[in-house]
Chains A and B, each alone.
Chain A
Amino acid sequence: MPRFLHTADWQIGRQYERFGPEDGSVLAEARLGTVEKIAEIATEKSVDAVLVAGDVFDAQTVSDRTIRRLFMAMRGFNGPWIMIPGNHDAALSESVWTRAQRLDAIPVNVHVVVVPEIVLFHELGLAILPAPLTQRHTYHDLTAWFDHVETPPGLLRIGIAHGSVQGVLAEDIDSANPIAADRAVSARLDYLALGDWHGCKRIDQRTWYSGTPEQDRFKSNGAGQILEVQIDLAGAEPSVTPIPVGQFPWLQWHRTLEVDSDLDLLINELREVNRPSVLSLVLTGQVDLAGEQGLSQVLSEAGALHRHLESDLTGLRLFPTDDDIAALHADGYLGEVIEELRIAQQQGATETGRDALVILSSLLRARQDGGEAA
């Protein structure tokens, strides 16, 4: 009763441009950590093999160091790793794979399948039907040949492919490299391990996208997992179990602040996220000066706690209350300036006006603090 892990879309070498070099490189590093963790789990669970359904690397031209580091990260599992190239790391005449070979970085237990031919693992009881990508994009179904190929009896027919299952996934995600939705049936496969879709998704009982083991975008349901697949005998329904491995969840919140309690709610919500995450916060509505101060404080704390925090306050108006203004002791023409900015905020604020108000109130507060201290 063979048992293996199904994973895909490691995207090793991916950089997170929007998070800057500091946070980005940590997130890039985390992907290698996750591979280490997969090896650990494979060993721990003594699985027969690990299948990687494409996009192991994020790009063809990653550094030599990155290539070596990946294969080192895989050393934690001595059993066979069976992987195919995806669209990001297609087996072109010169590719990340030819380089890995030249570097002699690929351990013997790692089988990189770059030609669409059956690979038999008699001792494991597996016949692997691979559909490696040899071009960046194809527009015909690379798994079509699965239907017409025979395998030795007694071996499980395991397909492994990278692309979009037709008619199931959203159009905007790598819709090239099509895969027929009923391939598992038509090719009499015991299991079809798919890659390319970063969320974890079941297509039918024998066909699964494992998703990426480390989340790398806000919109991907069930990302951060691998699949443990057990098939008792040929033709039996596989039992598929997701195992979470990801380090950093990606959260995207959109909150509207209207009354003081909204801010308190948000603050609580933020404090409840106890795992370091990648957090995107879009705030709209309005706050008063005190609220603004509190919000800055909380955002600053959250920024320190989480792997990355990005907040978009463009839609948040700053509306000082009369008490705020009184507290600032802004008399004379300063008071007039504040009033003018406040009215502008009321009439549909510009970001600039809000910033100006924040600067002015902070200057006034600083002066006040300075004055009191002196």
Chain B
Amino acid sequence: MKLTRLRINQFRQFRVPLEIPEFRPGLNLFCGPNESGKSTIAGAIRAAFFERHRSSSVDDLRPWGDSGAAPEVELDFECDGQPWRLKKRFLTRKRCDLNIGGEVLSGDEAEDRLARMFGYQQPAKGASKPAFWGIPGLLWVEQGTGHDLRAPVAFAGEHIKSVLAATLGEVASTGGDDILQRVESELNELVTAKTDRPKGRFKEYGDKAEQLKTDLAALDLRIETYRQQVDRLGELSQRQAKEQAERPWEALREQQQRAEGRYQEVQQLSERQAQDQMALERCRNHLQVVLDRLQGFQLQASELLQRDQAKRVVQARLDDFLAQQNAVKGALQSADSLYKQARETDRLSRLAQRRRELQQQKREMEGRRTHLTQSLIQARALEKDLSREEAALAECCLDEVQLKVLERLSESQRDLSITQQSVATLLRFDLEPGQHIDLDGVRLEGQGEKRLLQGSDIHVHGVGRLHVSPGGKDLHELARQLEYATERLSAALAAAGTGSIEQARERAEATRSLQSTLSANRKLLALHAPQGGPALEQELTVTAQLLGKVDEQLEAIGDLDSSNLPDPQMAEQTMEHAATRLAEAERAERQLREQLIQNQQALNHAHEEYLNAQASLAKPERRQQEEQCHSTLASLRVEQAQLTQAIAQRALLIDEARPDILLQDIKRYQSSASQLELANRQRSDELVGLQAQLQAQDAEGLEERRAQRAAEFENWSRRHQQLERRTRALKLLAGLLTDKRQALTRQLQAPLQKHLNHYLQLLFPQAVLEVDEHLVPGQLVRLNQESGDFDALSFGAREQMGLISRLAYADLLKEAGRPTLIILDDALVHSDQHRFAQMKRILFDASQRHQVLLFTCHPDNWLDMGVPMREIHSYH
């Protein structure tokens, strides 16, 4: 498509006609300040296409305040190789005329034709809305909406897909989505979309079948119980009839009575036995009383003997202790005297020890005094020698350092003189005998040689004078150095107090020998008096004082004969031993004393008791009583023997009859009979109960009911299975349809992806903008950057991606042979300089294929687009 001319009249701010007579095939730039009408022109193009000419809801197209105006838009464009002219007038004298290469259409027909051609929808009624705008809504970007892509793509989606499907031919499907939707909606009636769980009828049938299954199981259980009850009824009736005829409890009752008779006989025997046993018990008790008394009498006599015995034992013990008394006292005394003796010996032995120590100290100190005195004498002699030798040393002192200086000076003086001799001009002469020459006035004869150190005159008689000058200036320099060296040597020698170097050497030697003597003597002195002579003297004085004190102590001890004394350690041990012995003797003595007192008291007590016993035995009535007891005892013994025999005989009889077992028999027969009777009664009750129960259940017709339930169950579960089958089939179908549709979508995505990447590379090399199944850009994947969702990109980036995507859609549409016109109302105002430059390249590239109308209020930004910038202003 190519727009060639536009004319608008009485349209918003253009109250008078505005005509743009021609448009370029590619990019068309229009500029103008704010409110100069840029958006109005874009708006006019939209209105011409989107709004129904007969719509009465387009009042906003009128110039403000002019209610009589008839907004008019006239567009010329080429499309499909034909010239198109569209004339539309709104609100007043409404008209729509469309001329396509001579074919004239008008009104709704014209509008529908346009909508089909450009891929959008006409509103059935009222003003058009973005949802109807389809493809133009995507390609014609209103001011400030370039970043918003999702909604326009969604509105254009169906149109784009149908356009693309046409290019893809067979793979697309007419109404495939419709079928898929219906399959899915049918599936959704049966199962929940998310959790895939049965719902609606499907669930209801399943639940019903399940419920019926439970009912059936319950009924089965009841039927089984019923059958068991019927069996039980049969069994019970049979048994009851048999028992009623036999009456087995009666025989048992007879047996019970027999056992009771026997038990009574035994009972009488037992009573008599009990009586005899009581008599025997009484007899035994009496016997015991008599025996106890007799024993009492015997006890009294034996007690007197015991008392006497006890008294004697105590007396004997007391005598023992009295006999020990003297021996213990003697032992105590001897221990005491031994202890005292040991203590004296100990004291003396320690004194002797002290005396020996003092004598030893005295000897040591005397030795020391002698030694110190000798050292003092020697030290004094050495000090004298030292002072003498030090004086001698002071006199001839010439040390090694001084000698070395002298040697060095003499050596350098000698070296210089040798050097001088070697560089001097050598004058060797061999004169004829009798002949002579004069050298600087010195007569030379015969043979010889002279070293000339300075210019010399040689006078050869008869010949003349020869002047010889030694070569080089060194000779004079050398002469000066030699002179200086000689002077320094002489001065040094004089300072050292010697005439020559040899003399100096001799003196140095003498000094060394003196020094060594001196050092030896000093060491000797240090040996005798390390802290010097006065200290030595002081020490001597102190030693003498200490000696005096030792002598005093020795005197105080005096003479002592120590020959018989043991050493102090032994003496101490002996003393300790004696002390222990003494303590033991003292304790023995104390114990003895205590025991004596105790035994004396015991003896007194024993004597008293003895007297008491003697008194009670001597009473007169005691003998009479004893005799009486003996006679009673005899008669009681006879009675006991008789009773015992009678009881034993009767017990045998009772034991044989086993009354305990007889009692058990009675109980056993009795309870067996009553149990049989009870069981019979219970059975008859159970029979009645069972019959009643069964009859009650009979009325319910359990098995018939079960069969009916089973039929219902069969019915519902069959319906449920049918739905299950249908669900499976629908799922399979939905899955297949979705897969194929996705495969198709991927085919549709591919070319769009290609165009997108074409532009995207200019902005972000190697980046990919992914397209989802609705053909909406999703993830932007950039090299070395985190990929981001389109919607999460910055405003500027979204605007750039939005434009790139629109251009890609345009390319896609162009390939499908559809009209493409791109209108940008103030594009890319949020891009930075670099991106903006790239975007301009992209836009320029797109304008090679599409007609682009770009409106801007920043003309300076777009000067490098290679096309003229046209001012809106100039079209008024």
- Asked whether B726 lies within 8 Å of A66 as measured between CB atoms, the reply is no
Please measure, in the bound complex, the distance between the C-alpha atom of A58 and the C-alpha atom of B704, giving whole angstroms.
Answer: 9
Task: Determine, out of B265-273, B283-291, B366-374, B738-746, the stretch whose residues face the partner at the interface.
Answer: B738-746
Chain B CB within 8 A of A243 CB = no
Chain B CB within 8 A of A356 CB = yes
Extra pairs beyond A21-B708, A61-B702, A95-B230 (5, CB < 8 Å): A15-B711, A20-B718, A93-B234, A332-B165, A332-B172
- Asked whether B691 lies within 8 Å of A94 as measured between CB atoms, the reply is yes
- Asked whether B179 lies within 8 Å of A334 as measured between CB atoms, the reply is yes
- Asked whether A333 lies within 8 Å of B171 as measured between CB atoms, the reply is yes
Q: Which residues of A pack against B, CB within 8 Å?
A: 13-22, 24-25, 58-66, 92-95, 99, 102, 329-337, 340-341, 351-356, 358-360, 363-364, 367
Interface residues of B in 721-749 (CB under 8 A from A): 725-726, 728-730, 732-733, 736-737, 740-741, 743-744
Q: Which of A17, A59, A329 contacts B711 (CB 8 A)?
A: A17
Q: Which of B691, B728, B736 contacts A341 (CB 8 A)?
A: B736
Collect the chain A residues with CB atoms within 8 Å of residue B699's CB: 63-64
- Asked whether B733 lies within 8 Å of A94 as measured between CB atoms, the reply is no
- Asked whether B703 lies within 8 Å of A363 as measured between CB atoms, the reply is no
Closest chain-A Cβ to B305's Cβ sits at a distance in Å of: 101
Please measure, in the bound complex, the distance between the C-alpha atom of A20 and the C-alpha atom of B690, giving whole angstroms.
Answer: 35
Query: Nearest residue in A to B237 (C-beta to C-beta)?
Result: A93
Please measure, in the bound complex, the distance between the C-alpha atom of A22 and the C-alpha atom of B725, giving whole angstroms.
Answer: 23
- Asked whether B730 lies within 8 Å of A20 as measured between CB atoms, the reply is no
Closest chain-A Cβ to B123's Cβ sits at a distance in Å of: 22
Collect the chain B residues with CB atoms within 8 Å of residue A355's CB: 725-726, 728-729
Please measure, in the bound complex, the distance between the C-alpha atom of A16 and the C-alpha atom of B183, giving whole angstroms.
Answer: 36
Please measure, in the bound complex, the distance between the C-alpha atom of A25 and the C-alpha atom of B226, giving whole angstroms.
Answer: 25
Q: Which of A18, A332, A340, A360 contacts B714 (CB 8 A)?
A: A18
Chain A CB within 8 A of B303 CB = no
Of the A-B pairs whose beta carbons lie under 8 Å apart in the complex, a sample of 24, sorted by A's number, is A17-B710, A20-B715, A24-B711, A61-B702, A61-B703, A62-B704, A63-B699, A63-B704, A64-B698, A64-B699, A64-B701, A93-B234, A99-B695, A331-B170, A332-B170, A333-B172, A333-B176, A333-B740, A334-B173, A334-B179, A351-B725, A352-B725, A359-B729, A359-B733
Please measure, in the bound complex, the distance between the C-alpha atom of A15 and the C-alpha atom of B179, giving whole angstroms.
Answer: 43
- Asked whether B711 lies within 8 Å of A332 as measured between CB atoms, the reply is no
Collect the chain A residues with CB atoms within 8 Å of residue B701's CB: 13, 61-66
- Asked whether A335 lies within 8 Å of B173 as measured between CB atoms, the reply is yes
**If A94-B698, A333-B744 touch, does A15 touch B178 (CB 8 Å cutoff)?**
no
Chain B 151-193 interface mask (CB, 8 Å, partner A; 1/0): 0000000000000010000111111101100110010000000
Chain A CB within 8 A of B49 CB = no
Collect the chain A residues with CB atoms within 8 Å of residue B325's CB: none
Closest chain-A Cβ to B356's Cβ sits at a distance in Å of: 133
Collect the chain B residues with CB atoms within 8 Å of residue A353's CB: 729, 732
Chain A CB within 8 A of B223 CB = yes
Collect the chain A residues with CB atoms within 8 Å of residue B743's CB: 333
Chain B 430-473 interface mask (CB, 8 Å, partner A; 1/0): 00000000000000000000000000000000000000000000
Collect the chain B residues with CB atoms within 8 Å of residue A22's CB: 715
Closest chain-B Cβ to A65's Cβ sits at a distance in Å of: 8
- Asked whether A356 lies within 8 Å of B729 as measured between CB atoms, the reply is yes
- Asked whether A332 lies within 8 Å of B697 as measured between CB atoms, the reply is no
**If A18-B714, A59-B704, A356-B733 touch, does A331 touch B173 (CB 8 Å cutoff)?**
yes
Please measure, in the bound complex, the distance between the C-alpha atom of A359 and the C-alpha atom of B713, giving whole angstroms.
Answer: 27
Collect the chain B residues with CB atoms within 8 Å of residue A93's CB: 230, 233-234, 237
Chain B 734-766 interface mask (CB, 8 Å, partner A; 1/0): 001100110110000000000000000000000
Scoring A25, A58, A337, A355 by chain B CB atoms within 10 A of each residue's CB, the highest score goes to: A337
Collect the chain B residues with CB atoms within 8 Å of residue A25's CB: 708, 711
**If A332-B176, A333-B176, A334-B179 touch, does A360 touch B733 (CB 8 Å cutoff)?**
yes
Collect the chain A residues with CB atoms within 8 Å of residue B207's CB: none
Please measure, in the bound complex, the distance between the C-alpha atom of A367 and the C-alpha atom of B179, giving whole angstroms.
Answer: 8
Please measure, in the bound complex, the distance between the C-alpha atom of A182 and the C-alpha atom of B145, giving whole angstroms.
Answer: 104
Closest chain-A Cβ to B187's Cβ sits at a distance in Å of: 10
Collect the chain A residues with CB atoms within 8 Å of residue B223's CB: 61
- Asked whether A336 lies within 8 Å of B728 as measured between CB atoms, the reply is no
Q: Which of B694, B697, B704 contacts A66 (CB 8 A)?
A: B704
Query: Nearest residue in A to B234 (C-beta to C-beta)?
Result: A93
- Asked whether A337 lies within 8 Å of B736 as measured between CB atoms, the reply is yes
Collect the chain A residues with CB atoms within 8 Å of residue B231's CB: 92
Chain B 209-223 interface mask (CB, 8 Å, partner A; 1/0): 000000000000001
Query: Nearest residue in B to A355 (C-beta to C-beta)?
Result: B729
Please measure, in the bound complex, the distance between the C-alpha atom of A66 and the C-alpha atom of B233, giving whole angstroms.
Answer: 24
**If A21-B715, A337-B740, A359-B733 touch, does A15 touch B165 (CB 8 Å cutoff)?**
no
**Chain B interface SS verdict (over half):** helix
| Range class of the B interface residue count | 35 or more
Query: Nearest residue in B to A134 (C-beta to C-beta)?
Result: B234
Query: Nearest residue in B to A329 (C-beta to C-beta)?
Result: B174
Q: Which of B171, B700, B703 contacts A332 (CB 8 A)?
A: B171
Scoring A20, A333, A367 by chain B CB atoms within 10 A of each residue's CB, the highest score goes to: A333
Collect the chain B residues with CB atoms within 8 Å of residue A13's CB: 701, 703-704, 707
Q: Which of A15, A94, A330 contacts B704 (CB 8 A)?
A: A15
Collect the chain B residues with CB atoms within 8 Å of residue A58's CB: 703, 707
Please measure, in the bound complex, the distance between the C-alpha atom of A189 and the C-alpha atom of B744, giving whole angstroms.
Answer: 85
Closest chain-A Cβ to B744's Cβ sits at a distance in Å of: 5
Please measure, in the bound complex, the distance between the C-alpha atom of A351 and the C-alpha atom of B694, giving whole angstroms.
Answer: 49
Collect the chain B residues with CB atoms within 8 Å of residue A363's CB: 179, 182-183
Chain A CB within 8 A of B407 CB = no
Please measure, in the bound complex, the distance between the C-alpha atom of A19 and the C-alpha atom of B740, giving whole angstroms.
Answer: 41
- Asked whether A17 lies within 8 Å of B173 as measured between CB atoms, the reply is no
Chain A CB within 8 A of B108 CB = no
7 closest A-B pairs by CB? A332-B173, A63-B701, A15-B707, A355-B729, A59-B703, A20-B715, A333-B740
Collect the chain B residues with CB atoms within 8 Å of residue A94's CB: 229-230, 233, 690-691, 694-695, 698
Closest chain-A Cβ to B654's Cβ sits at a distance in Å of: 55
Chain A CB within 8 A of B712 CB = yes
- Asked whether B704 lies within 8 Å of A332 as measured between CB atoms, the reply is no
Closest chain-B Cβ to A260's Cβ sits at a distance in Å of: 25
Collect the chain A residues with CB atoms within 8 Å of residue B176's CB: 332-334
Interface residues of B in 803-841 (CB under 8 A from A): none
Query: Nearest residue in B to A330 (C-beta to C-beta)?
Result: B173
Closest chain-B Cβ to A296's Cβ sits at a distance in Å of: 14
Closest chain-B Cβ to A201's Cβ sits at a distance in Å of: 27
Chain B 669-709 interface mask (CB, 8 Å, partner A; 1/0): 00000000000000000000011001101111111110110
Please measure, in the bound complex, the distance between the C-alpha atom of A331 and the C-alpha atom of B175, giving whole angstroms.
Answer: 9
Please measure, in the bound complex, the distance between the C-alpha atom of A232 and the C-alpha atom of B368, giving whole angstroms.
Answer: 181
- Asked whether B172 lies within 8 Å of A17 as measured between CB atoms, the reply is no
- Asked whether B179 lies within 8 Å of A364 as measured between CB atoms, the reply is yes
- Asked whether B173 lies within 8 Å of A333 as measured between CB atoms, the reply is yes
Scoring B172, B702, B729, B737 by chain A CB atoms within 10 A of each residue's CB, the highest score goes to: B729
Please measure, in the bound complex, the distance between the C-alpha atom of A334 and the C-alpha atom of B178, giving whole angstroms.
Answer: 11
Please measure, in the bound complex, the distance between the C-alpha atom of A62 and the C-alpha atom of B708, giving whole angstroms.
Answer: 11
Closest chain-A Cβ to B799's Cβ sits at a distance in Å of: 36
Please measure, in the bound complex, the distance between the C-alpha atom of A74 and the C-alpha atom of B697, giving whole angstroms.
Answer: 26
Q: Which of B175, B703, B733 contacts A367 (CB 8 A)?
A: B175
Scoring A15, A93, A340 by chain B CB atoms within 10 A of each residue's CB, the highest score goes to: A93
Closest chain-A Cβ to B728's Cβ sits at a distance in Å of: 4
Closest chain-A Cβ to B545's Cβ sits at a distance in Å of: 137
Please measure, in the bound complex, the distance between the C-alpha atom of A363 and the C-alpha atom of B183, giving whole angstroms.
Answer: 8
Query: Nearest residue in B to A341 (C-beta to C-beta)?
Result: B736
Please measure, in the bound complex, the distance between the C-alpha atom of A334 and the C-alpha atom of B703, giving whole angstroms.
Answer: 53
Collect the chain A residues with CB atoms within 8 Å of residue B710's CB: 15, 17
Please measure, in the bound complex, the distance between the C-alpha atom of A16 and the C-alpha atom of B186, giving whole angstroms.
Answer: 33
Q: Which of A19, A24, A60, A64 contacts B230 (CB 8 A)?
A: A60
Closest chain-B Cβ to A343's Cβ sits at a distance in Å of: 12
Please measure, in the bound complex, the distance between the C-alpha atom of A359 and the C-alpha atom of B171, giving whole angstroms.
Answer: 22
Collect the chain B residues with CB atoms within 8 Å of residue A333's CB: 171-173, 176, 737, 740-741, 743-744
Q: Which of A16, A59, A61, A367 contacts B700 (CB 8 A)?
A: A61
- Asked whether A359 lies within 8 Å of B173 as measured between CB atoms, the reply is no
